[in-house]
Amino acid sequence: MRNHINLVIFSSSLHDGESVIGSRKLLFEGIRRFADLDITYPSMLHSGPRDLEGMFDGSSPQTETLPGEDGGKTLCFIATGGTEEIFRDYIDALPRPILLLSDGLHNSFAAALEIKSFLTQRGIASTIFNAPLNNNPAFYESLEQRLFGDEAGSDLLTPSEALPKFPKAVLKAFEKTKIGLIGGASGWLISSGIDREAVQQTYGARFEDIELAELEKAFSAVPADAPEIGSICARMEPYLTGGRTADDLREAARMYLALRAICTQHSLNALTLKCFGILDSCRTTACLALALLNDEGIVAGCEGDIPALWTMLYVNYLYGEPAFMANPASSDRRECTIDFAHCTIPLKMVHGYRLPTHFESDSGIGIAGSVPSGRYRIVKISGEKLDRFYETEGDLAMNTYIPQRCRTQIRFRFSSEKEFDRFLSVSKGNHIILCKAVGPAVPSR
């Protein structure tokens, strides 16, 4: 009897449905080599599977579940970023253990890791399968074996390690830190919330909530002909690409001045911004602004991700270096590599850059930086009390240029398959922090 798979596709409304599905034909064909495939969308769980026509329509969650073991396997294909909230709404309609499928396009891998961390926090067994970009037949052989062969089973994502002992200088720096939370956290960060009161009591750092409306007002107050904007445009206009204009660059520079003004007004050492919240109101992006602030020593992160920003602060205080906040984009276990990507990076970390659009919105200004090869460190502090820790070292093998990804893209090679597997097994959400390996790792407690 032929194997059977129910493939539930989770896709964000920010992505064009036809392009999302069209770019995955090879993935679906690979699965069909060893199993019959029924395509389902979350809003269709009640009515049953049908073909590839239509995408998630935003309707209310259903409580009826898909078939369990006797009805075949259910794979949840996390097709794009921004699907984490949708997935959370439909958890009760999915059979256990939960099997997650991701690939190297449209922030699929990063979203799947955020979901897997969320499941682990709640003690729900899950396994993640990440399809490599090269459509290697070996992946499908492995997937068949793990789903239907002797290796069939599930993994419970393990938590990250306890925090190392921070040097006194780092602890003193945290005591003096004031962090602006502009607009709150992005909704898809379902495993990245923190206990602010506990963190403040432990470290002395202060958090201040700032409404997006305040930033919008500050942005409106920045004149388009401000001298500093002219200076930024003169310096950066030669690097515009992908149809970006001097007007686009001018608006991005205005956002930088607006954020800097808020930092001055609120005496902020750091900030994280719910950056997708300004796309409609300000008609620009904050990618360039965050890069310039980081270059100036104001640690700035995006998406309202506090654990990621906290890790960037840790790197800055410990090593005196800026850091790249990035999404895992794809993986290749045979090569022990994972690609990382995001649309902003401190310009001090690159030896060249271009200024295309921001990826998801195809608007504003993004940064496609070229990061020097060499030895780098991946770090992530996570957990509700920011008391969990992950760190490893490896080599930056190359920069990649894949259109269906955020603009700055690097390939990181782990030192061994063991370290590669540890990365996938540790609960840390959908962002990592990458920095130069300029000093020894902090010893564990």
Give the structural domain span for 105: 3-156
Q: Which two tokens stand for residue 429?
A: 């959400």
Alpha carbon of 37 to those of 2, 122, 150, 162, 319: distances in Å?
Answer: 11, 29, 21, 42, 50
Say if CB 181 and CB 300 are below 8 A apart: no
388-399 and 161-162 as β-strands: parallel, antiparallel, unpaired?
antiparallel
Q: pLDDT tens digit string along 152-203?
A: 554 544 656 889 999 999 999 999 999 999 999 998 899 999 999 999 999 9
Q: Which of 133, 156, 179 is the last residue of a domain?
A: 156
Distance CA(274)–CA(256), nearest Å, equals 15
Residue 45 belongs to domain with CATH number: 3.40.50
User: In this structure, are 170 and 280 located in the same domain?
Assistant: yes
User: In this structure, are 282 and 401 located in the same domain?
Assistant: yes
End-to-end CA distance of the chain: 54
- How many domains does the chain divide into? 2
User: In this structure, are 197 and 290 located in the same domain?
Assistant: yes
Residue 369 belongs to domain with CATH number: 3.40.275.10
Give a yes or no: residue 443 inside a domain.
no
Say if CB 45 and CB 86 are below 8 A apart: no
Distance CA(411)–CA(339), nearest Å, equals 4
Give a yes or no: residue 83 inside a domain.
yes
Report, in angstroms and rounded to the nearest whole number, the Rg of the chain calculated over CA atoms: 22
User: In this structure, are 130 and 196 located in the same domain?
Assistant: no
Give a yes or no: residue 242 inside a domain.
yes
User: In this structure, are 147 and 268 located in the same domain?
Assistant: no
Distance CA(206)–CA(180), nearest Å, equals 9
Can you tell me which residue has the tokens 């607006």?
A: 258
User: In this structure, are 253 and 367 located in the same domain?
Assistant: yes
Helix (H) or strand (E) holding 210: strand 206-210
Query: Is the pLDDT higher at 19 or at 77?
Result: 77
User: In this structure, are 167 and 146 located in the same domain?
Assistant: no
User: In this structure, are 91 and 70 located in the same domain?
Assistant: yes
User: In this structure, are 28 and 177 located in the same domain?
Assistant: no
Give a yes or no: residue 442 inside a domain.
no
Residue 122's pLDDT is: 87
Q: Of 5, 75, 8, 62, nearest to 40 (Cα)?
A: 8
User: In this structure, are 185 and 327 located in the same domain?
Assistant: yes
User: In this structure, are 43 and 70 located in the same domain?
Assistant: yes
> In sequence order, which residues have a C-beta less than 8 Å from that of residue 223 and are 6 or more positions away?
none
pLDDT at 141 over 70: yes
Residue 16's pLDDT is: 64
Tell me the angle at which helices 137-148 and 25-32 cross, rounded to the nearest 10 degrees.
50
Give a yes or no: residue 39 inside a domain.
yes
In this prediction, residue 140 has a pLDDT band, given cuts at 50, 70 and 90, of very high
For every residue of 173-206, DSSP letters joined together read: HHHT-EEEEES---TT-TT----HHHHHHHH--E
Residue 120's pLDDT is: 86
Q: pLDDT tens digit string along 343-371?
A: 999 999 999 999 999 998 999 999 999 99
User: In this structure, are 284 and 324 located in the same domain?
Assistant: yes
Give a yes or no: residue 11 inside a domain.
yes
